[in-house]
Amino acid sequence: MYTIDIDTGGTFTDGYLCGDGGAVGIKVDTTPHDLTTCFYSCIEEGAKRLGMSTPALLDQTRVIRFSSTIATNTAVQLSGPKLGVIVTAGAEANLYSDKGSNPLHAFISPKMVMGIDERVDNAGDLVQAPNEEQVDEKVRFLLENGARMLVISLRNAHLNAAHELMVRKFINTAYPRHYLGAVPLLVSHQVSRVPSDELRTNTAIINGYFHRGLVNSLYKAEDMVRAQHYRHPLMIVTADYGVTRVAKTRAINTYQSGPASGVRGAHVLAEKLGHSRVLSIDVGGTTSDVAYIADGSSNRAKYRPINGVQVAQRVPDIVSFGLGGGSKIRLAGKEIRVGPDSQGAVPGPACFGLGGRIPTPTDVWLQLGYLAPDKYLGGRKKLDAQKSREVVRRALAEPLGISEEDAALKAKEAVENELAHHVLQSGPIPDAEALHGATLYAIGGGAGLLAVGLARKLKMGQVYVPLNAAVFCAFGASTLDVSHAYEEILPIGKNAVAAGDVKKVLAKLMRSAARDMRGEGYSDEKIDYVVDVECLSGIDEIGRASGRLAKGAVSGEVAKFVRKPPAGGQYLVVRLTATCPTPHPVIKASGQRAKALAGAQAGRRRIRLARGEVDAPVYAFDKLPIGAKVQGPAIVENEHTSVLVPDEVTLVIDRTGSGVMGVKP
Question: What are the pLDDT digits (tens) for 117-175?
Answer: 999 998 889 999 999 999 999 999 999 999 999 999 999 999 899 999 999 999 999 88
Could you tell me which of 552, 549, 550, 574 has the C-alpha nearest to residue 561?
574
DSSP 8-state symbol, 82: P
Please give the order of strands across the beta sheet that includes 185-187. Answer: 113-116, 83-88, 149-153, 185-187
HEC sequence for 458-523: HCCCEEEECCCHHHHHHHHHCCCCEEEEEEEEEECECCECCHHHHHHHHHHHHHHHHHHHHHHCCC
Does the CA dihedral 159-163-167-173 come out positive or negative?
positive
Answer for the pair 638, 465: CB distance below 8 angstroms, yes or no: no
Same CATH fold assignment for domains 2-76+215-257 and 482-580: no
Q: What is the pLDDT of residue 29?
A: 82
Answer for the pair 95, 198: CB distance below 8 angstroms, yes or no: yes
Q: What is the pLDDT of residues 165-218, one digit of tens each?
A: 999 999 999 888 767 667 889 999 999 888 899 999 999 999 999 998 888 899
Beta strand extents in 239-326 (DSSP E only): 242-245, 277-283, 288-294, 297-298, 300-306, 309-316, 319-321
Q: What is the dihedral of CA 104, 106, 109, 112, to 10 degrees?
A: -30
Q: What is the pLDDT of residues 67-96, one digit of tens each?
A: 988 888 788 778 889 999 999 999 999 999
For residues 203 and 157, what is the distance between their CA atoms, to the nearest angstrom? 13
DSSP 8-state symbol, 455: H
Answer for the pair 346, 286: CB distance below 8 angstroms, yes or no: no
For the chain, the distance separating the N- and C-terminal CA atoms, rounded to the nearest angstrom, is 46
HEC sequence for 532-565: EEEEEECCEEEEEEEEECECCECCHHHHHHHHCC
* pLDDT cut 90: percent of the chain above it: 53
Query: What is the mean predicted confidence (pLDDT) over 547-563?
Result: 83
The DSSP bridge partners found for residue 441 are 280, 464
Cis peptide before 633 (omega within 30 of 0): yes
Q: What is the pLDDT of residues 256-282, one digit of tens each?
A: 898 899 999 999 999 888 898 999 999
Answer for the pair 637, 643: CB distance below 8 angstroms, yes or no: yes
Question: pLDDT class for 37, splitting at 50, 70, 90?
Answer: very high
Q: What is the pLDDT of residue 90?
A: 94
Contacts (Cβ under 8 Å, ≥6 apart) of 303: 199, 310, 311, 312, 313, 539
The DSSP bridge partners found for residue 305 are 310
- Mean pLDDT lowest for which of 257-271, 290-304, 424-438? 290-304
Domain ranges of the chain: 2-76+215-257, 82-147+149-183, 327-416, 482-580, 597-662
Q: How many C-beta atoms surround the C-beta of residue 434 within 10 A?
A: 14
Is residue 300 over pLDDT 70?
no
Is pTM beyond 0.85? Reply is yes
- Which one of 3.30.70, 3.30.1490, 1.10.10, 3.10.50 gives the CATH number of domain 482-580? 3.30.1490
Q: What is the pLDDT of residues 343-393, one digit of tens each?
A: 776 788 999 888 889 999 999 999 999 999 988 877 778 899 999 999 999
Higher pLDDT, 179 or 63: 63
Answer for the pair 339, 323: CB distance below 8 angstroms, yes or no: yes
Q: What is the pLDDT of residue 73?
A: 78
- What 3-state class would DSSP assign to 10? coil
For residues 117 and 88, what is the distance between their CA atoms, to the nearest angstrom? 6
- Mean pLDDT lowest for which of 380-394, 417-431, 441-455, 503-517? 417-431
- Which one of 3.30.420.40, 3.40.50.80, 1.10.1740.10, 1.10.3720.10 gives the CATH number of domain 2-76+215-257? 3.30.420.40
